[in-house]
Amino acid sequence: MSARRSRLDRLLARLLTISQDAVPALLAQQRVRVDGQVATARDLIVDGFSVIHVDGRVLQDQPPVYVLLHKPRGVLSATRDALHPVATALIDHPAAASLHIAGRLDRQASGLLLLTNDGRWSRRLSNPASAVAKRYHVVLQQPLNDDYVQAFAAGMYFPYEDLITRPARLEILGEREARVTLQEGRYHQIKRMFGRFRNPVLSIHRTAIGGLSLEPALAPGGWRLLTPAEADLVFLGTG
């Protein structure tokens, strides 16, 4: 299930297996309800999560599902793969087959991963204009210094994409540990940024996305459902 938008008459024709020309009569007789309200306009825009009744019978009542997962290392941010375990296999929920990844993590990275069946929500999350902050705990092979902080804040040129990364925040937590906050997600971005200093990354652990944080009590492989209100926390403090 997705949140793809459609005209009411087209959706009713598909769900009832009738022609679109037969829909106006149903609407004129006030036999159709959308989200609890009588619907009379055939061009009303609905989506996959609109609750639709005809003659009191439920035609569509599929709620959006939002999942917060503590992804372990070695698990792919994917729905299927022939060689590696995938994130959706960890979700024991009736809607698991309809979920997709909202913001990927590298296979060897761990931490907060979001999954949903709500396409509009995940597209908003991935839209650069949303500027959703993502926070990571990173362990390095070599010691850190203030040169890293300045370089991350200035942005780095990636010749393959021919772009300069957005300013990123790096906080030194220990000799070889840092907290990195990004507002984008370029391919292997954190590894490539530290690679400019020839400092290999030993581990990456995502701790937060926007206003959502990974709960300490949620063990690797653990997950829980988010309410729609909690899902909206991901956009707190963003652009």
Residue 217 falls within a domain, yes or no? Answer: yes
Residue 134 falls within a domain, yes or no? Answer: yes
Asked if residue 210 lies in contact with residue 233, where contact means CB atoms within 8 angstroms, the answer is yes
What is the rounded average pLDDT of the residues 51-63? 88
Residue 131 falls within a domain, yes or no? Answer: yes
What is the rounded average pLDDT of the residues 114-125? 91
CATH code of the domain covering residue 27: 3.10.290.10
The active-site residue, picked from 9, 35, 81, 106, is 106
| Tens-place pLDDT, residues 188-207 | 999 999 999 999 999 999 99
CATH code of the domain covering residue 206: 3.30.2350.10
Residue 1 falls within a domain, yes or no? Answer: no
Same domain assignment for residues 129 and 197? yes
Asked if residue 117 lies in contact with residue 47, where contact means CB atoms within 8 angstroms, the answer is no
Cβ atoms within 10 A of the Cβ of 204, count? 21
The count of C-alpha atoms lying within 13 angstroms of the C-alpha of 207, restricted to the half-sphere facing its C-beta, is 10
Q: What is the pLDDT of residue 47?
A: 82
Domain span at residue 172 reads: 66-235
Same domain assignment for residues 186 and 138? yes
Same domain assignment for residues 39 and 82? no
Determine whether 106 is an active site residue. yes
